Structure 1
Amino acid sequence: MKLRNLLEIDFSLFFAALILTFFGILFIYSSGITSTGVLVSNEYIRQIVWAIGGTMIALFLAMINYRRLYDLSLYFYLGTLLLLVYTCFFGRLVNGARAWIGIGSFGIQPSEFAKITTIILLARYLDSSKKNQKHLVRFAVSCIIVFIPMGIVLLQPDFGTSLVFIPILLGMTFVAGISFRYIVFLSACILFTGIFMVLPLWQSYILQGAMPFLSIIQNVRFVAISVAALFLVMVIALIGVRLYKKQYFFWIIYGAAIITFSLGASFISHKVLKDYQIMRLIVFLDPNVDPRGAGWNIIQSITAIGSGGLLGKGYLQGTQSHYRFLPQQSTDFIFSIFAEEWGLLGGILVFTLFLLICLRLIRIMKTTADVFGSFIAAGLSAMYIFHFLVNVGMTMGIMPITGIPLLFMSYGGSALLSAMSGIGLSLSIYIRRYQH
């Protein structure tokens, strides 16, 4: 470790993260103020402690050579897997998810750190396999590396956090040069799974049964017959590929496989998802279906953001938060408070800072001479972008409520420490970007 390395860090990346963290502390404090001006929460004090700890971790990681993690990546990955499994059985139950390990008032969320260790191990694998394995094998192994922690997180169940692993997988495999057809295949499966999952809910709750044929997607017999028929089509097309060597037979198999996986996954999801998770999808389609229940959060969040106008109501002058209209306002809906009090211009400032972080990470990814470091930067960039788009989109009503925090700003030690750890790794890569 050399202290002079700290003078070579990417200061724009580092200070963008620090400014967002500072904004988070300010508005976590604001979220604890009532309409009478009484402070009823000390969350901001804890966030300050975590911010100091996260900054120290980031600077420590910047000083050490990130390549030391290459040989240790598997051990870190397996360690977080053990913590995730332990959490499933013995973790603290909060908001319907057993996702925290608690010791008294102190608790950590292992899934936040699992994202970082998964990125590091996947970067190692993609680096080590770039010359001697086929695209399909590389993509399949990459999926296994990512889907194992993702599946355990789903069992907690923490649907929102599990989703973050998908863009990490897609972003890193794309940068690694894996054939685009495999990336598109997985993306299409996810897209159609979402469509097939939402359509029955849409006709039942929004259309009030006006299109009953959409309900057959949830019918066991229909799904079984459809899957069997599509499987038969794939077998016939496979024979066509072998006998006639025609490309269109491959695309028939490709399309049929997407529909088969999507139908099966959407059917299973309806059986696995909890009632409150299904209601989140319904109120995303139309919050007024349950305006005083599941739709309350979205309606109040949109109201808060809209009432901020161009310049906002002023710091500590917000009404939606101080009158306690926004549930979970220091975590999931911190951006709603920010936009209400600092308005559109404040929101643009947050957008700009996150854009700067992502652009700097992409720059690091492109300029570093070490492929391992480049892949880590790609995974971190995908993680930050997804968190930002989903959380801010959720507060604006253009994304379903998933419980994904706004990194650096939302209250929570595990999310902040893992986000700052990612910044530290990025700074370490930047310092050594010209070293092989």
Structure 2
Amino acid sequence: MTKRQSHFFQGDLILILLLFITVSLFSIYNAQQMEQYADNFVMKQIVFYGASIFALIVIQFFDLEQLYKASLFIYAFGILIIIALYLTPAGDFAPIRNGAKSWFVFEQIGLSLQPSEFTKIAFIVYLAAVVSKHKDKFKESTIKSDLFLLLKIVVVTGIPFGLIFVQPDLGTSLIFVFIAVVVVLLSGIDWKIIATIVTGVLSLAAGAVALILYLPELAQAVGIKAYQMNRVLSWFDPTHQSNDTFQIDRSMQAVGSGQLTGKGIGNLQVYLPEAHSDMIFSVIGESFGFIGSAAVVFLYFFLFYKLITLGLRVHNFSVFGSFICFGYFALLLIHTFENIGMTINVMPITGIPLLLISYGGSAVLASVIGYALIYRVAVENSIQNDYLFK
């Protein structure tokens, strides 16, 4: 093996991905042992991961410079698939599920596609390019240049946010806001501007919650959906009766019943809707107990550490690569915190999957494509270090 070929072997990232795949397959296998499942979701997940790994390999043929030049087109594609979904009449091809039109369904081949999952990755790529281009143009930051960068980030974020919000899918649309906030915090924008934004965002969030709790009629009048209100009410008031209360109760029962070491493979006892997808962490808690759950959380934290340290290392020679790492970190962080949080009633119920573990073609393919971009950044960091120390 030549020295140049060795750059493409990133052992730590390969190991992390294999561990996530292993956890995913074992957890889904355990979830589908319940009588509610007729399909073999494990085999489908293997196919999804196979396609995803093929995409990961293909992406390694494109360097960061090529991805940077194509970033606008990647972003435009992400926006166009959301617009296509919006314009498609509701029906079998674009059904309304849980009150939202968020999926394309190809019944002939048994495949569903959620465009917003791919738009998240396209958004991260273009947002990284916007920050990189701005840093190249403005070597010395000022309040004026910082406000200009902030305006560009708001516009780039606002388009997918608005299109997904009207589906309506508030949970997914807020993920774009979270990623943008993390990028703003790490982009070097003046702290006074950041403090003003944080105050405004917290005030809006507090106002929305107050409307739901004390003025529900007004909350509905301004566009907050009944199911969204139920999720917030169930979070604040466990006695509030709704389908979400049932899910929370069952989820906490499943996690708690796992105790220290869990019940093992094929011994689930707590019935839980969507156990193989949104509620997969409840299955992990019941199957593998506190020890298994803690190991999964540690695996995520280890990946977070790799993303942050890699982003810091490549910042000197590629701001674009650096912010791809930071954007992907933000995406994984909010998905992990929200998904695990909702299973133990720390966060309200949403339809946000646990990335790299939950069942789902769109989520798996999109999250591994994001992982492939990180892998390419690591490859270029390895090449750069080899070049510097020759």
Q: CA deviation at 1:63?
A: 4.3
Partner of 1:259: none
Partner of 1:57: 55
Residue identity opposite 1:421 in structure 2: I
Partner of 1:296: 246
Contact 2:34–2:268 (CA under 8 A) maintained in structure 1: no
Report the secondary structure of 2:264's partner residue: coil
The yes-or-no answer on 1:136 pairing with 2:139 is: no
Structure 1 residues 189 and 402: alpha-carbon distance in aligned structure 2, compared to 1, 3 A threshold: farther
Q: CA deviation at 1:103?
A: 2.2
Contact 1:62–1:426 (CA under 8 A) maintained in structure 2: no
Q: Tell me the distance in 1 between the aligned counterparts of 2:150 and 2:71.
A: 19
Structure 1 residues 349 and 275: alpha-carbon distance in aligned structure 2, compared to 1, 3 A threshold: same
Contact 2:7–2:379 (CA under 8 A) maintained in structure 1: no
Q: Tell me the distance in 1 between the aligned counterparts of 2:76 and 2:37.
A: 42
Partner of 1:319: 269
Partner of 1:234: none
Residue identity opposite 2:38 in structure 1: V
Partner of 1:329: 275
Q: CA deviation at 1:5?
A: 4.2
Residue identity opposite 1:41 in structure 2: D
Contact 1:332–1:403 (CA under 8 A) maintained in structure 2: yes
Report the secondary structure of 1:30's partner residue: helix
For residues 2-401 of structure 1, what are the structure 2 equivalents within 5 Å? 5=5, 8-34=8-34, 40-90=38-88, 91-104=94-107, 105-130=110-135, 131-132=137-138, 134-203=145-214, 215=215, 271-290=222-241, 293-320=243-270, 325-368=271-314, 369-401=317-349
Structure 1 unaligned segments of length 5 or more: list them. 204-214, 220-266
Q: Tell me the distance in 2 between the aligned counterparts of 1:350 and 1:19.
A: 9
TM-score, structure 2 normalization: 0.89
Instruction: Give the root-mean-square deviation of aligned CA atoms.
Output: 2.2
Structure 1 residues 22 and 404: alpha-carbon distance in aligned structure 2, compared to 1, 3 A threshold: same
Q: CA deviation at 1:218?
A: 7.2
Structure 1 residues 349 and 171: alpha-carbon distance in aligned structure 2, compared to 1, 3 A threshold: same
Give the count of matched residue pairs: 368
Contact 1:332–1:406 (CA under 8 A) maintained in structure 2: yes
Residue identity opposite 2:260 in structure 1: L
The yes-or-no answer on 1:428 pairing with 2:379 is: no
Contact 2:31–2:268 (CA under 8 A) maintained in structure 1: no
Q: What CA deviation, in whole Å up to 9, does each residue of 1:116-141 have, x standing for no partner?
A: 11111111111111243710011011
Q: CA deviation at 1:21?
A: 2.1
Contact 2:33–2:268 (CA under 8 A) maintained in structure 1: no
Query: Mean alpha-carbon deviation: is it higher for 339-348 or for 165-174?
Result: 165-174
Q: CA deviation at 1:152?
A: 0.5
Q: Tell me the distance in 1 between the aligned counterparts of 2:284 and 2:322.
A: 33
Q: CA deviation at 1:183?
A: 2.8
TM-score, structure 1 normalization: 0.80
Residue identity opposite 2:329 in structure 1: S
Contact 1:373–1:429 (CA under 8 A) maintained in structure 2: yes
Q: Tell me the distance in 2 between the aligned counterparts of 1:270 and 1:17.
A: 45
Which has the larger Rg? Answer: 1
Structure 1 residues 6 and 347: alpha-carbon distance in aligned structure 2, compared to 1, 3 A threshold: farther
Query: Mean alpha-carbon deviation: is it higher for 162-171 or for 398-407?
Result: 162-171
Identity over aligned pairs, percent: 30
Residue identity opposite 1:92 in structure 2: P
Query: Mean alpha-carbon deviation: is it higher for 16-25 or for 293-302?
Result: 16-25
Report the secondary structure of 1:94's partner residue: coil
Q: CA deviation at 1:39?
A: 6.1
Structure 2 unaligned segments of length 5 or more: list them. 89-93, 139-143
Contact 1:317–1:341 (CA under 8 A) maintained in structure 2: yes
Q: Tell me the distance in 2 between the aligned counterparts of 1:26 and 1:417.
A: 19
Q: CA deviation at 1:318?
A: 1.4
Report the secondary structure of 1:399's partner residue: coil
Q: Tell me the distance in 2 between the aligned counterparts of 1:175 and 1:193.
A: 23
The yes-or-no answer on 1:413 pairing with 2:364 is: no
